[in-house]
Structure 1
Amino acid sequence: MMEKLVVIGAGMASGRLLEHLFEADPTAYDVTLFNAEPRGNYNRIMLSPVLSGEKSYAEIVTHDDAWYAQNNVTCRFGERVERIDRDRKMVVGAQGEVAYDKLVIATGSDPFIIPCDGHDLDGVIAYRDLDDTNRMIDTAPGQRAVVIGGGLLGLEAAAGLRMRGLDVTVLHLAGHLMERQLDPAAGYLLRADLERRGITVMTEASTKCIRGETCVEAVELQDGTVLPADLVVMAVGIRPAARLAKDNGLIVNKAIEVDAQMRTSDPDIFAVGECIEFAGQLFGLVAPLYDQAKVLAATLLGQDAVFAPKQLSTKLKVTGCDLFSAGDFAEGPGREDVVFRDPARGIYKRLVIEDDQLVGAVMYGDTADANWFFGLIKDGTDIAEMRETLIFGPAYQGGAAVDPLAAVAALPADAEICGCNGVCKGQIVAAIDGGATDLGAVRATTKASASCGTCTGLVEQVLAATLGDAFQMPAAQPVCGCTDLSHEDVRRLIKSQALKSQPAVWQELGWSTPNGCHICRPAVNFYLLADWPLEYQDDPQSRFVNERKHANIQKDGTFSVVPRMWGGITTADELRAIADAADKYDVPTVKVTGGQRIDLLGVKGEDLPAMWADLNAAGLVSGHAYSKGLRTVKTCVGTDHCRFGTQDSTGLGIRLEKRLWGSWTPHKVKLAVSGCPRNCAEATCKDVGIVCVESGFEIGVGGAAGMDVKEVEPLVKVATEDEAVEWTVAFVQLYREHAKYLDRPYKWLSKVGLDWVQQTLTDAAERKALVDRFDLSQTIYQTDPWAELAVREKARAFAPIADLTLEAAE
């Protein structure tokens, strides 16, 4: 008979414990999981990207409902445990009792709230869980937020709130930020970086009280300074959540006391995570929590295991700040510092050496060699022979630059590669030996680089060092000659640094040319347009000639004009208008396109405005055949006329085209809707293809029929037309928000993986949020560029621009 295991707390430590337990023996225990939050396990260290808008909650969920169901876990979420009856071996929850044979307490920690006057006002919150994060997200842009605490958590909160458009002030009691991890010089650089983002930083600032009647109105400091505030975030520290253990007679000092097997003073009760104390130590970083989880899983299965705390390092996850700290960097007798400064690039490195050993390291701006330095500190390596070149990292040991992969190859098997998920080099090598030969496979097998992503480059280096020539390191190509940054870097920095204009991009990201070039300007224009639809105004002069003239340029300098025909449907009046335009403007060629439209070829550039006016007057709008946007939605006749049709494919195609037209996307997007599996509309080779079946609609994505021929991959099956529209719009918006400029959907999918797209879109709340963001952008940009008023307003766009008179890349 299975033993009964009750776990109190669904945090990261207990989640990893259950993973180890089920992997080793899924039938060992009948598990009941309590959690005070109304949800299961998610990656709490990734709450800051959720706050900033870079990730959704769905992306940081580590165990979803299906995982708990698959492992037969009884979930009691949203239910607090009131007490433990140790004599009867019962856990008493708000909804009743549960018996246990073994009990695990994983209650984590509670945020410390400064007990000043006003700390209980509405609008004063901590930053500890998803509910706190959502409260900050719900605070309207433009309001004033005061973050009390300049440590790791407080700065992540401040950066996220600033990216949400709030006016943010950070108050810190010490003389410089993150004083436990940073020396004053690195603290200064961090402060300067945050201030460049528009965050006000006040050090040596002591809070006297929080003002307000029922809601927070201001924060008053001890020196009399008053800061108006609509939101106050307390991020001044945490305390182990050990009350439940203490109230029920377990030994508790600063936290729940455990031995090396994670056993409390009761032999059938164990504890893991931030709520424990071992050998006088408390734990707040994720790596030791994962080590504890592994030890406890072995203990519960009757295996020998011992918890031994390791040396820890800190990496700041405030997007755009590269910061690393490890060891002891305090000054003292017998210690010497090696310091490297490059003020122009914002780089600072400090190494602390004692008795020919590296004992501390602080780095800001360039942390690429952080793991190597951390290994030297942990291992107590004698650095006497490399003393002169130590500051330059592993690539320069021996007096000259060597293969950087040699340093990675030399890392021991227990060297930590992914701090977020506690993955060491040995686990990655084992996954590679087991057949994981690319980044996606390693990520899926080990979770390395699956969270914040800062270790991605190091994971790729482990792949390269292990596989040798069989692995081809992906090259991050720069956008153009104006910058060394890749498309992905530029897009990430536009979001993280809230850059909302082209001059801001050129200035803040160090462009070598003052106004960009014909390669980077269209890309940056799109990224700004997609990421900041309310704040950024489209720049026609940063578009290719086709998009400026709203027609495709031909090899003889004339243009091709394609009116839009919704879903391939037209009328006699529309056809007469097209025929009249062809006659009036001496159009030499009229062609039916593969996308069920009519193309007027050979139109003179000077005739374009007048032709557009005539077509507009007949009710025709632009088909955007020239654009990086929705081109056509091809349909068959469906149930209207075909005896094989299962759904109204024409109606759905028209509905989708009217919903999606005019949306700028990273590349052209083509859709098709076939009324039955006979697939007359060729839906299976489109960017989005929908095949109607008796039970509803099968949606596929990522097809291609150009230089690459590729069948769609199945995204989802839905029952209703409304669902088909919702999924399609959400997919297009996800593509808009994440893809590299000029990557078709199939190329984007090959990089991010269909699994991630499906996981993201399966979350109903995230799907709705994507649709809402798409609709928001459409209210601004879904206008007909052929409209006579638009033509007049954009007249300057037709002036020739030497560096952009190029054909749009197909």
Structure 2
Amino acid sequence: MTEKLVIIGAGMASGRVIEHLVEAAPGAFDITLFNAEPRGNYNRIMLSPVLAGDQTYADIVTHDDDWYAAHNVTCRFGERVVGIDRDQKVVTGEKGAVPYDKLIFGTGSNPFMIPLPGHDLDGVIAYRDLEDTERMMQMGSGNKVVVIGGGLLGLEAAAGMAARGADVTVVHIMGHLMERQLDEAAGYLLKKSLEAKGITVKLQANSKEIAGRDGKVRALMLDDGTELPCDLLVMAVGIRPNVALAQEAGLAVGKGIHVDDHMCTSDADVFAVGECVEHDGALFGLVAPLYDQAKVLAQTLLGDAATFRQKTLSTKLKVTGCDLFSAGDFAEGAGREDIVLRDPAKGIYKRLVIEEDRLVGAVMYGDTADGNWFFQLIKDGTNIDEMRETLIFGPAFQGGAAVDPLSAVAALPPEAEICGCNGICKGTIVDAIAGGASDLAAVKATTKASASCGTCTGLVEQLLQVTLGDDFQMPTAQPICGCCDLTHEDVRRLIKSRELKSQAAVWQELGWTTPNGCHVCRPAVNFYLLADWPLEYQDDPQSRFVNERKHANIQKDGTFSVVPRMWGGITNPNELRAIADAADKYNVPTVKVTGGQRIDLLGVRGEDLPFIWADLNKAGLVSGHAYSKGLRTVKTCVGTDHCRFGTQDSTGLGIKLEQALWGSWTPHKVKLGVSGCPRNCAEATCKDVGIICVDGGYQVGVAGAAGMDVKETERLCDVATEAEAIDVTVAFVQLYRENAKYLDRPYKWVAKVGLEWVQERIADLDERARLIAAFEQSQSIYRKDPWAEHAQQAQRYQPLADLTLEAAE
């Protein structure tokens, strides 16, 4: 007989309950799911990557409309429950009542809002749901944000908005960040890393009042008189179980909804799960125990004997690119001793706390690969006396010498926890692999290991390799296309070693099956030949993508985008008049300022391209190469010319760099940024090459990213003069041109060859000079304004075109 099951709240815990039920007993329950939010279940712990731009909301949806429909779940989303009649067993929503046989509270928690004066102003928010995240995503360059709370959520909020260009200050009342998860030393390293990313951190800071203007937040006032101006204030100071509805229904409630070991409340037909519950005096905020509760509750509803037990928990977190791990009790105390490893150069800190030959706590920063092994020792109460001397170095060094890391993974017991979020142990994963899950996707689908935060992915892959042995298929390098069996790296190496200087030579000598290549390989081979043999090879326009052939970006309606170059983001009234006149003359529907400090004319008809180029050329404007695999933009701040914080002439340096590099063909697009001080207004730390001006000179970073992947630059070198900064940048770009795979951005190339390899070549002054000379030689041959070439041809037809435009008007 089908039972009527009503669930209040579509959070992660209740969503997991539904999964277990429909997997174990499809059709056993007629499920109705209420949710006050206008949506179903999504992975809330992944809101931070959404804020940072790494993922979208669609990426973190765990149950979509099709999933609910397939499992006959009636969805009442965007509808609040207004009453519960336990005697009649009826739940009343804003749009009507639903009877139940069993009822589940999954009402989660509410963010705690400090009742400061002004806490109700517009612009004061929590960090709890998608709406909060979307509000924070509006913060960018020019916005000031204050985050109250130096815990995980507060730091993730701060990092996400800082990555979008906002000026962010974190205010924390305690003496170090994340004090519940980290000791003081690890908290210090985290603070140092955040400040290096441009985030201001104020510790032992007590908030006094939130000031406003016209009903909107203006600033946070501290009790020492400090005023922190802000356009948005985010409170991330903790959560409280949402128990109001349960209280109104007459259930036993303390700090949370009281539940027993079977997740049953004081009513035998009413259950609770997730952050709203209190079990044996404990509340729960991490996802691992919530998922344990969900499994127990599903088994209880199905009539199976199951009990919830609180477990020792580990915390493995990734905040702003910093790996953190903590487990157990790491407080100082009598009878305890510490083992500490510090490597300041690599930013690594590890601290183990030992009591009576047992590991009782661990804190790790920067390198958390062995976290699960240490956690298992804590849970098992393993006697570590015989491995004390090598314990800090992890499982790979037990026995006195380093061993293959895979051997260490193989030695883990079956009960060793691999995926903390979902409570998945090694044995479960090995059983899944034995059952046919032969790759990461299959293991994820079968066990849910690595399906939440993803920090255990490496361990899961190692288990696949250990378990499958020779049957494990390592990802293989893909051929450049179907025309041959050679990889990009093979083709480039052979072009150089065999001195192949034409496309025909490549097709003939390297065994191409297609006589003249295809649309995939021809652009790559054309670039390799052009970069390696600039004196001998003639660029083939027909081997370029359509945008590069058209010298403009084609839009979805068949029109084109025209972007004039603005050196370092600087323009003048004459250029602006020319752009405005061109927009009027050619009926350009959209004129947009781009993120690269230029102006984009969108919607230009293909037949008008030569003529609009000619008009822009007359004003001194050249192609911005917004369509090319080459230099796009050099973003700058105003530097010492106008800014009181500027340390160097960042604008002038940006202009010189753009004038040196423009028109160069590269494996992929290249974007630069030059910031006049560490405040980094030009967002230089997420560019392919980013330069930060400091009092002593220039910090040159490379291999940043801010597209589908978000990555901070890595420090290439520090130089004292502007001339050195230009030389180092040009040499890096040429090294990238000579060695990278076509369509690899610099950050992917650097990851393959290693930053040290790049640094060694740039530091070698002879090699640097060779690279600069090679780049300049290539530029002398290939740098030209494609717009000007076509504009000259259009001059003869310009009068006729003008007459046609006048007639059309």
> Would you call these one fold, judging by a TM-score over 0.5?
yes
Residue type matched to 2:308 in 1?
F
Question: Relative to structure 1, is the Cα distance of residues 345 and 619 closer, same or farther in structure 2, using a 3 angstrom cutoff?
Answer: closer
Q: Give the equivalent residue in structure 2 for 1:42.
A: 42
Q: Give the equivalent residue in structure 2 for 1:637.
A: none
Give the CA deviation at 1:557.
3.9
Residue type matched to 1:355 in 2?
E
Q: Give the equivalent residue in structure 2 for 1:249.
A: 250
Q: Is the contact between residue 550 and residue 786 of structure 1 (CA under 8 Å) also seen in structure 2? A: no
Q: Give the equivalent residue in structure 2 for 1:237.
A: 238
Give the CA deviation at 1:254.
1.0
CA distance in 2: counterparts of 1:380 and 1:328, whole angstroms: 13
Question: Relative to structure 1, is the Cα distance of residues 627 and 278 closer, same or farther in structure 2, using a 3 angstrom cutoff?
Answer: same
Question: Relative to structure 1, is the Cα distance of residues 790 and 279 closer, same or farther in structure 2, using a 3 angstrom cutoff?
Answer: farther
CA distance in 1: counterparts of 2:206 and 2:232, whole angstroms: 18
CA distance in 1: counterparts of 2:471 and 2:165, whole angstroms: 46
Q: Secondary structure at the match of 2:428?
A: helix
CA distance in 2: counterparts of 1:379 and 1:149, whole angstroms: 34
Give the CA deviation at 1:566.
7.3
Residue type matched to 2:319 in 1?
V
Q: Give the equivalent residue in structure 1 for 2:458.
A: 457
Question: Relative to structure 1, is the Cα distance of residues 22 and 565 closer, same or farther in structure 2, using a 3 angstrom cutoff?
Answer: closer
**Deviations for 1:174-201, whole angstroms, at most 9, x for unmatched residues?**
0000111111100000000000000000
Question: Relative to structure 1, is the Cα distance of residues 476 and 423 closer, same or farther in structure 2, using a 3 angstrom cutoff?
Answer: farther
Q: Is the contact between residue 340 and residue 391 of structure 1 (CA under 8 Å) also seen in structure 2? A: yes
Q: Give the equivalent residue in structure 2 for 1:524.
A: none
Q: Is the contact between residue 144 and residue 166 of structure 1 (CA under 8 Å) also seen in structure 2? A: yes
Q: Secondary structure at the match of 2:340?
A: strand
Residue type matched to 1:251 in 2?
A
Q: Secondary structure at the match of 2:318?
A: coil
Q: Secondary structure at the match of 1:187?
A: helix
Percent identity for Structure 1 against Structure 2? 68
Q: Give the equivalent residue in structure 1 for 2:33.
A: 33
CA distance in 2: counterparts of 1:785 and 1:65, whole angstroms: 51
Question: Relative to structure 1, is the Cα distance of residues 124 and 565 closer, same or farther in structure 2, using a 3 angstrom cutoff?
Answer: closer
Q: Secondary structure at the match of 2:342?
A: strand
Give the CA deviation at 1:324.
0.5
Give the alignment of 1:134-213 within 5 angstroms.
Answer: 134-213=134-213
Q: Secondary structure at the match of 2:217?
A: coil
Q: Is the contact between residue 53 and residue 710 of structure 2 (CA under 8 Å) also seen in structure 1? A: no
**Deviations for 1:404-429, whole angstroms, at most 9, x for unmatched residues?**
22322232333332233443323221
Give the CA deviation at 1:787.
2.3
Question: Relative to structure 1, is the Cα distance of residues 244 and 563 closer, same or farther in structure 2, using a 3 angstrom cutoff?
Answer: closer
Q: Give the equivalent residue in structure 1 for 2:132.
A: 132
CA distance in 2: counterparts of 1:664 and 1:302, whole angstroms: 67
Give the CA deviation at 1:27.
1.1
Give the CA deviation at 1:57.
0.4
CA distance in 2: counterparts of 1:84 and 1:364, whole angstroms: 48
CA distance in 2: counterparts of 1:212 and 1:137, whole angstroms: 22
CA distance in 1: counterparts of 2:136 and 2:297, whole angstroms: 35
Give the alignment of 1:656-671 within 5 angstroms.
Answer: none
Residue 324 in structure 1 maps to residue 316 in structure 2: no
CA distance in 2: counterparts of 1:51 and 1:315, whole angstroms: 20
Q: Is the contact between residue 354 and residue 361 of structure 2 (CA under 8 Å) also seen in structure 1? A: yes
Give the CA deviation at 1:450.
3.1
CA distance in 2: counterparts of 1:102 and 1:301, whole angstroms: 11
Moved more, 559-568 or 64-73: 559-568
**Deviations for 1:375-413, whole angstroms, at most 9, x for unmatched residues?**
111111110100110000000111111222232223233
CA distance in 2: counterparts of 1:476 and 1:403, whole angstroms: 24
Q: Secondary structure at the match of 2:345?
A: helix
Give the CA deviation at 1:132.
0.6
Give the CA deviation at 1:550.
8.0
Give the alignment of 1:704-743 within 5 angstroms.
Answer: 742=741
Q: Give the equivalent residue in structure 2 for 1:64.
A: 64
Question: Relative to structure 1, is the Cα distance of residues 565 and 391 closer, same or farther in structure 2, using a 3 angstrom cutoff?
Answer: closer
CA distance in 2: counterparts of 1:160 and 1:305, whole angstroms: 40
Residue 419 in structure 1 maps to residue 409 in structure 2: no
CA distance in 1: counterparts of 2:171 and 2:102, whole angstroms: 44
CA distance in 2: counterparts of 1:5 and 1:254, whole angstroms: 26
Q: Secondary structure at the match of 2:216?
A: coil
Q: Give the equivalent residue in structure 2 for 1:395.
A: 396
**Deviations for 1:568-612, whole angstroms, at most 9, x for unmatched residues?**
999xxxxxxxxxxxxxxxxxxxxxxxxxxxxxxxxxxxxxxxxxx
Q: Secondary structure at the match of 2:15?
A: helix
Q: Is the contact between residue 546 and residue 627 of structure 1 (CA under 8 Å) also seen in structure 2? A: no
Q: Give the equivalent residue in structure 2 for 1:55.
A: 55
Gaps of 5+ in 2: 479-487, 489-522, 551-608, 615-621, 631-662, 670-705, 712-735, 745-782, 793-809
Give the CA deviation at 1:320.
1.0
Gaps of 5+ in 1: 478-486, 488-542, 571-614, 630-661, 669-732, 746-782, 793-810
Q: Give the equivalent residue in structure 1 for 2:300.
A: 299
Q: Is the contact between residue 148 and residue 233 of structure 2 (CA under 8 Å) also seen in structure 1? A: yes
Q: Is the contact between residue 613 and residue 787 of structure 2 (CA under 8 Å) also seen in structure 1? A: no
CA distance in 1: counterparts of 2:198 and 2:549, whole angstroms: 52
CA distance in 1: counterparts of 2:477 and 2:345, whole angstroms: 23
**Deviations for 1:742-772, whole angstroms, at most 9, x for unmatched residues?**
4779xxxxxxxxxxxxxxxxxxxxxxxxxxx
Question: Relative to structure 1, is the Cα distance of residues 467 and 568 closer, same or farther in structure 2, using a 3 angstrom cutoff?
Answer: closer
Q: Give the equivalent residue in structure 2 for 1:431.
A: 432
Give the alignment of 1:380-529 within 5 angstroms.
Answer: 380-473=381-474
Q: Give the equivalent residue in structure 1 for 2:269.
A: 268
Q: Give the equivalent residue in structure 1 for 2:223.
A: 222
Residue 338 in structure 1 maps to residue 371 in structure 2: no
Q: Give the equivalent residue in structure 1 for 2:361.
A: 360
Q: Give the equivalent residue in structure 1 for 2:84.
A: 84
CA distance in 2: counterparts of 1:127 and 1:144, whole angstroms: 17
**Deviations for 1:82-136, whole angstroms, at most 9, x for unmatched residues?**
1210010001111111100000000111000000100000000000111110111
Give the CA deviation at 1:563.
9.2
Q: Secondary structure at the match of 2:38?
A: coil
**Deviations for 1:471-510, whole angstroms, at most 9, x for unmatched residues?**
2455999xxxxxxxxx9xxxxxxxxxxxxxxxxxxxxxxx
Q: Is the contact between residue 552 and residue 560 of structure 1 (CA under 8 Å) also seen in structure 2? A: no
Question: Relative to structure 1, is the Cα distance of residues 564 and 223 closer, same or farther in structure 2, using a 3 angstrom cutoff?
Answer: closer
Give the CA deviation at 1:321.
0.4
Q: Secondary structure at the match of 2:31?
A: strand
CA distance in 2: counterparts of 1:565 and 1:365, whole angstroms: 42
Give the alignment of 1:633-672 within 5 angstroms.
Answer: none
Q: What's the TM-score once normalised by structure 1's chain length?
A: 0.63
Give the CA deviation at 1:434.
1.4
**Deviations for 1:229-255, whole angstroms, at most 9, x for unmatched residues?**
110000000001111111111111111
Q: Give the equivalent residue in structure 2 for 1:680.
A: none
Question: Relative to structure 1, is the Cα distance of residues 550 and 208 closer, same or farther in structure 2, using a 3 angstrom cutoff?
Answer: same
Question: Relative to structure 1, is the Cα distance of residues 617 and 61 closer, same or farther in structure 2, using a 3 angstrom cutoff?
Answer: closer
Question: Relative to structure 1, is the Cα distance of residues 434 and 298 closer, same or farther in structure 2, using a 3 angstrom cutoff?
Answer: same
Give the CA deviation at 1:454.
1.9
Give the alignment of 1:791-806 within 5 angstroms.
Answer: none
Count of matched residue positions in the alignment of Structure 1 and Structure 2: 548
CA distance in 2: counterparts of 1:320 and 1:475, whole angstroms: 28
CA distance in 2: counterparts of 1:222 and 1:790, whole angstroms: 65
Q: Give the equivalent residue in structure 2 for 1:12.
A: 12
CA distance in 1: counterparts of 2:255 and 2:541, whole angstroms: 75
Moved more, 9-18 or 411-420: 411-420
CA distance in 1: counterparts of 2:86 and 2:357, whole angstroms: 53
Q: Is the contact between residue 148 and residue 154 of structure 1 (CA under 8 Å) also seen in structure 2? A: yes
CA distance in 1: counterparts of 2:528 and 2:54, whole angstroms: 31
Q: Give the equivalent residue in structure 2 for 1:283.
A: 284
CA distance in 2: counterparts of 1:666 and 1:233, whole angstroms: 41
Question: Relative to structure 1, is the Cα distance of residues 787 and 546 closer, same or farther in structure 2, using a 3 angstrom cutoff?
Answer: farther
Residue type matched to 1:239 in 2?
R
